[in-house]
Chain A
Amino acid sequence: GDSVTQMEGPVTLSEEAFLTINCTYTATGYPSLFWYVQYPGEGLQLLLKATKADDKGSNKGFEATYRKETTSFHLEKGSVQVSDSAVYFCALSQQGAQKLVFGQGTRLTINP
């Protein structure tokens, strides 16, 4: 079945550092890919998504590019802030927003 693998956390960075959280997937066909974020005390929020190969999703300074050839959807941000501290989940779906398949999550802590 479909699966998503994320880099294990926790990840701790200093403010203004460059961030990469790796995500690779195994799936049939052409799934949609997502990054969700869970800030402390809040629910999961959609951060960005890409629905086809070579699409780039972006939001709040974060970017991820759908790479079919490497089955990857790595999350990047050029300069992180303390407010980016959260748990980040990579996910895929074969059916729009239905039946999301998530990775195990990566806890990110940004120190001032």
Chain B
Amino acid sequence: EAGVTQFPSHSVIEKGQTVTLRCDPISGHDNLYWYRRVMGKEIKFLLHFVKESKQDESGMPNNRFLAERTGGTYSTLKVQPAELEDSGVYFCASSQDPNTEAFFGQGTRLTVV
């Protein structure tokens, strides 16, 4: 069974540009989560999808971040325009239901220069 897959693994962009991160959850997992770790600090929750609906987006830092999950399968996280402080590792996770283990992807390392 394939795990959670994230693309790209690394991305380097200039300040002001747009970047789109993609997450493919484990097949059949309705719950999808985005987290990020900035500059070696703690990993912070961004948002939670149940199928295509945003269940909780309380961790989204500002309106430069847009997450979508059309069709309830893969999800994208767009940052537009990117700022220097957006640099970090973005993790995606999925779970079959909210009370079972969340499986994490390898993360996307984003560097904004």
CB atoms of A43 and B40 under 8 A apart: no
Are A102 and B33 interface neighbours, CB within 8 A?
no
Task: Verify if B99 is at the interface (C-beta below 8 Å from A).
Answer: yes
A83 on the interface (CB 8 Å rule)?
A: no
**For A44, A101, A105, which residue has the most chain B Cβ atoms within 10 angstroms?**
A44
Q: In the bound complex, what is the Cα–Cα distance between A104 and B44 (angstroms)?
A: 10
Nearest B residue to A97, CB-CB: B102
Interface residues of B in 37-74 (CB under 8 A from A): 37, 40-45, 48, 56, 59
**Given A101-B45, A103-B42, A105-B42, CB of A96 within 8 Å of CB of B107:** no
Is A99 in contact with chain B by the CB < 8 A criterion?
Answer: yes
B33 touches A98 (CB 8 A): yes
Which residues of chain B are near A91, meaning CB under 8 Å?
Answer: 43
Residue of A nearest to B99 (CB): A96
B40 & A97 in contact (Cβ 8 Å cutoff): no
In the bound complex, do residue A102 and residue B43 qualify as a contact, i.e. CB atoms below 8 Å apart? yes
Q: Does A42 contact B (CB under 8 A)?
A: yes
Picked from A36, A97, A104, A105, the residue with its CB within 8 Å of the CB of B95 is: A97
List residues 55-110 of chain A with CB under 8 A from any CB of chain B. Answer: 89, 91, 95-105
Given contacts A43-B4, A44-B91, contact A102 B102 (CB under 8 A): no
> With A and B bound together, what is the CA distance between A105 and B91 in angstroms?
14
Chain A positions within 8 Å of B, measured between CB atoms, are: 4, 36, 41-46, 89, 91, 95-105
Interface residues of B (CB under 8 A from A): 3-4, 31, 33, 35, 37, 40-45, 48, 56, 59, 91, 93, 95, 98-107
Q: Which A-B residue pairs are the 9 nearest by beta carbons? A: A96-B99, A44-B104, A102-B43, A43-B104, A97-B102, A43-B106, A104-B42, A102-B42, A98-B98
